[in-house]
Each structure stands twice: as structure tokens, then as C-alpha cells.
Structure 1
Amino acid sequence: MGCDGGTIPKRHELVKGPKKVEKVDKNAELAAKWKYCALSQERLKRPIVSCELGRLYNKDAIIEYLLDKSAERPNAEAVAHIRGIKDIKELNLTDNPEWEGERRNAKGDKYEDINCGMFICPVVGLEMNGKHRFCYLQSCGCVFSDRAMKEVKTEICHKGGNQPGNYKIGRMCGDPFKLDDVVVLNGTKEEVEKLREKMEERRSKTKIKKSKKSKAAETVSTPSESKDDKQSPQEDVAGKSSQQNGGESSQSAVAGPSGSSSSSTDTKSSTSSATKRSIQDMTEKSEAFKSLFTTHSSAKRTKEQTSNWVTHTPYHF
């Protein structure tokens, strides 16, 4: 086998065994979930939003995705369930006073706590670094630890307004919420599946409500049409009665003496002659009024005054 120089090979050097499965560093995985955007993989910065599945995003990255969904992104699957801006909620986070951020010492002469979180729970004070469960309320967007939700059992948000990063300064939040409004942040696979089921149920309910509203609007518009339809038969009956009356009158006119028919013809001829009567023939009109029209004798021209070409003036005859 060679063994030059008196070397003795070992078994693991000669026999190739199965490859060891590479384990993911838990600290790196937690940092990727709680400190970086799930879409752009950039560091989280305000404003921070979350979806109905409890993932953390930068609001700018979500807006860019919604504006251009056709662009290629490495983590497009993480936001496939986001249809619009209504599917996300801006989080009301409390800053950690011990978090230095970019101001921390990078010289290496100081201990750096990797597990230090950027935000904390406003009630208990636990750091949001992945070691503790955190959740947020869909009604107001306030973020709490799971321990705080268990210790303070209430149906009203109890986050203080004087905490840094709170948009409601100087007072408590006080927005009511239900158990269905609680969403776990960066939960396990089982929790994400449960949240997905709730999301689908909520969306199906909204679709049903919208369909009911559209049907109600259609029913509101149809009664007016039905009224018109109801009125039309009455009009038809009235029309039939009028036709019948007209038929009877015509029959009576035909059955009557010939003098009535002659009187009707006389009235028609008188009306036709009245309509064809010229203004110049009216004796009750003055000459000043008659001179306003082109049919007056003063408006007519002789052959010498007329030109050889055709004009479109009212004085041409």
C-alpha cells in the first residue's frame, strides 16, 4: 500500500464512509430571522412590517416588490402570499437601550454580545433575539413577548405610550383585540401552518362578504326595475283602453253624417292655409315689421344690381 517511510495508514484514511451532515449554526439562523429582512436580506430598519405568517420585512423592500413583482429576487417565495399593502402590518416596536448598533466598538478590545437584540418587550423587558417567543397584534401592531401575554391577561393592548419607538406618545395604546389577532413572529413550521390556515379562512370570509354585498346591491337595483315592469302593464292596459276609445270614436265618426267628415277636412285645409300664409299678406302687421324680412319689396334687387356669380347672401333670389 505504499507505506513509504514506515507510515501506517488508518482505517478512515483508506475506507470512505458516509459524509457528515453539516449542521446550521443556531446563532446565525436566529440572527438571520430576527435582525435581517426576509425578502432583501438587509438589516432591519424602521419602518418594519410583518405579514400574516409572522415574518419580518423592511417596508421599503415590500413596496418595491409590490411595484414590480416580475423582477427576480432570491427569496420571492417568502412573499408569495402578500397580494397588497393590506396584507402587511407596520409593527410598533420598543427599542433596546443597550443596543448600540453601528456605534458599537469594532476594535476588538471590548466584549460584543451577539445575542443582544435591537428591540425588547415593553412589559417584561425580554430582548427580541430569537431565544424568547414574541408576537404582535393585528389590530394595532404592538409587539409583546409571549410571557407578557400570559402574565397580563387582558383583551386591551397595554403597551405604554412613553416607550421609545411608540407612535402613540404620552398615553396607553388601549386598542381592543381578540385571540385571533395574535400572530407569532418567526414561529416554528407547525405555527406557520396554523397561521396559514387562519389566513386562508380570513380571506375566504372576506370574499363571501364581498359577494353578499354585491348581491345586496343587485337586489337593491332590481326592485326599481320590477316597479317599472309592473307599471308597464298598466300603461299597456291604458293604451289598449285609449285605442279602444279611439276606435269607438272613429267608428262613430264613420257612422255619423257626412257633414262631420266635411267639417274635419275644412279644418285641415284652414290650418294648412294658415301655415302657408306669407307675412307680407298679413294686414294686422305694420310695414316696419314686414321690412325686417327678405320677402319685403325693399329687400329685392333688380337684374342690374345683381352680380353674375352666385353668392350665399340672403339677398340672392
Structure 2
Amino acid sequence: MVLALVLMFILVMMSGCPGPARKPGQQEPDRPDVVPGPEELKQEEPVISLYDKDTGKTTRIKMEKYIQGVVAAEMDPTWPVEALAAQAILARTFTLKKIEEGGVKKRNADASTDEEEFQAYAPEKINDRVQRAVERTRGLVVTYKGKYINGWFHADGGGRTAASALEGLAYKKEPTPYIKSVKDPGFAITAPENKSWTVQFPLNMVRNIIREKIGQDPGVIRTARIIKKGPSGRAMTIRLGNATVSGPALRIALGKDKMRSTLIERLEIRGNNLVIHGRGYGHGVGMSQWGARALAEKGKNAQEIINYFFKGVEIKKVWK
């Protein structure tokens, strides 16, 4: 009997004493939503090579310092810190994904200050808000099933973001299931020129641009109409004369600052001009910057802002 009791005592000690069970759905105590924690990290903050379009030189810079310059360029640095912080997380994610894919190969650099090649960069605009935003999100990135997402953002979604990267960007390189269409809360506070805009282009110029930049000859353009719209209302396919072009391709060809979005309300031929009426500013995919500002002003933090605009993603810390 004594021997049996001794054996039972030894088995209990070997198995350990379980702590109090957590209720279903309850998080572990002191474990934030952002994982893994700093104690689990082995990667050091990267030092990247940055090509300067103004000087033509490539220099080395710490990642977090670089992200400060990107955030200051890509978003108004006077906006709420949490909006800037969301921008910082996406900028860091974008940078790491692009470096993983080979960086800016023609510059033999990880990144470039030319926004046509990489991201905008304006270190002269860095202020205390930007510094705080980057510091409080240090090392944070957005992933989907363990891989960096395409950290897309745009100025204003025109009331609703695009339902897919295909709709807003004609992007087909890889699946992007984390993109979703949501109401853009920034439309209520956005600049007037984003609420409604009209632009016109001479038809001869449109024909030449389509021929040179898209590779089709529409001929003499007498008709213009939208052939296909996406779920959020964006023009995915447009017919101009004899040419059928994607909405995103036409926007890039005509100029992204002129044709402000593909959220077109009316497309018409008026005299010798192509006239486009629309709303919003940008491709509409991912995070709306005006939407981020609106959410931040309502008390949402950077993680909540990102989770509002992206579906099924995880925010991870990849260095201390």
C-alpha cells in the first residue's frame, strides 16, 4: 500500500501541476495580439541599400530610419499618430516584401527614393509625430499565412475600397485573398477634389497615348463606354473607339494625378474631348489613407486600422 502511494506521488510530480484553465476564446495573459514577442526574436534590424534618385548614389541606412522618411512622404505628417503608425507598418511590410523579391534590380539596391520604382521618400518632412509612429510600431509587419502581404494603400476610396487587387490594379501576379471591399470612413472628411472630380483629354492625345503606352490603336475615337465594372463600382474594362483597355491601365497611361481613380461616374465624348467624371483618389486597393485618418480620429489604433482594411491578416514583430 505504501509503495503504491509513493508511485502515485512520483507520477503526479512528473506530470506537473496544471494551472487554472482558460475560458474558451480567452487569450493567454500578458500575450498581445502582435506575435511573436521580443523575447522570441532573433533577427536584428536590417541595414538596407538605398538608391537616391537626386544624387544617383547608393547609401546604407537602417530600416527604421528609412521608414520614417517613407511615412513622412506618403502621408501628411501632421495627421494623427495612429494613422501614421498604420502607414509605417504597411511601408515596412512593402519594403521587406520587395527586398525579398529582389529589390530594385536595375539600381542594384534594396530600395529607391524614386516612387515610380519603390516608395516616396522625404526625410526633410520627418517630425515628432512621424518619429513616434515609427518607434511605436518598430519591427511590425503584416502577414497572411506567414508571408508578407502587398501593403497597398491609396489616398481616398471614394466611399468604398476595391473588392480585389484585380478590380483596382488589374493585378494578377499572385492571389491576394486579404484584400476586401469596405466602406471608406475617410470619404466624409476627405478633400473636396476627392469627393467629385472631372477631367478632360483631347481625343487625339488619348489615341496617341493608348497607341504608345498600351499598344493598341483605337482609331478615330467617336465612342467611349465602360464595358465592365467591379463589385465596388470601379471601371475594370473600358472601350474607346476600337480599343478595349483595362481601367487601371488607362489611368496610368493618362496620368494618375489627372484621372484620379477608376471609380468613374460618367464617361463621355464631348466635342473633341474625352470627359471623365469620378470620385476618390487612387487605385482603391487596401488601406485608404483618409480612412485611416478618420478611424484614428475615432480612437482606433494602428493595428485596428489595418485589420479594418485587410482580411485575415496577422501583425507580427520581426525584430526588437
TM range (shorter): under 0.3
Give the TM-score, by structure 1 length: 0.20
More helix per residue: 1
Identify the structure with bigger relative contact order (alpha carbons < 8 Å, sequence gap 6+). Answer: 2
Q: Which has the higher strand share?
A: 2
